[in-house]
Amino acid sequence: MIMRVLCVLVLWCRLLPAVAGLEVFDFSGNVDEDRYKALISELRCLVCQNQSLADSDAELAHDLRLEVYEHMQQGKSDAEVIDFLVARYGDFVLYNPPLKPSTYLIWIGPFFLLALGLFLLIKNVRQRGRQLDTSFSREEQQRIDALLGEAGDKGRDQ
């Protein structure tokens, strides 16, 4: 029984991308197909949360695609359509979240980490450089000089 359910689920999941977005809209009117497609692919489906409205086959995604199409038919701009959805579902529907206090972390976080990484890298490299300069004691330095001197003498002999 469980195997059968699993099989059906797997098959169903395989089919999903193929059947998503089956509605047939008329793009001969004032709705630009490219604009419509661009818009639904940057809006997130709330049911299957890692899919855009363009990819999702959830009931709600069908309804929301229709909603987007109809708004565009009424001559609404992309911003107006997005505002309509955000007012109902929140910023969550946006794959491209706006810059505001609650999203500072996502926008600035990566740059902060990059800066932190660079800072640590530079600090580390500098420290290593300094360690190289000062890592010989006086005796060691004398031995080095002596050895280098010998090598130098031999070099001159040949």
Partner 1 sequence: MPKFVRYLLPLAIFLAMAALLFRGLNIDPHRVPSPLIGKAAPAFTLAKLKDPAGTLSDAKFKGQVSLFNVWATWCVACRAEHPVLMQLAQSGAVPIYGLNYKDKRPEALRWLQQFGDPYHANAFDADGRVGIDWGVYGTPETFVIDKQGVIRHKVIGPLTQDILQNEILPLVERLRAEKG
Of residues 78 and 91, the one with the C-beta less far from partner 1: 91
By CB under 8 A, tell whether 92 contacts partner 1: yes
Number of residues that bind partner 1 (CB under 8 A): 15
R_g of the chain computed on alpha carbons: 32
Report how far residue 110's alpha carbon sits from residue 103's, in angstroms, rounded to the nearest whole number. 12
| Maximum alpha-carbon separation in the chain | 95
Of residues 90 and 97, the one with the C-beta less far from partner 1: 90
CB of 29 to partner 1, least distance (A): 21
**Residues between 95 and 134 that touch partner 1 (CB under 8 A):** none
Q: Which run of H or E residues covers position 117?
A: helix 104-134
Residue 117 is encoded by which pair of tokens?
A: 């990484």
For partner 1, the binding residue among 37, 88, 130, 143 (CB under 8 A) is: 88
By CB under 8 A, tell whether 94 contacts partner 1: no
Of residues 31 and 61, the one with the C-beta less far from partner 1: 61
For partner 1, the binding residue among 9, 38, 90, 142 (CB under 8 A) is: 90
Stretch that binds partner 1, among 4-12, 62-70, 103-111, 135-143 (CB under 8 A): 62-70
SS (H, E, C) 44-105: ECCCCCCCECCCCCCHHHHHHHHHHHHHHHCCCCHHHHHHHHHHHHCHHHECCCCCCHHHHH
Q: Which run of H or E residues covers position 17?
A: helix 2-19
Q: Which residues bind partner 1 (CB under 8 A)?
A: 46-47, 49, 59-60, 63-64, 67, 86-92
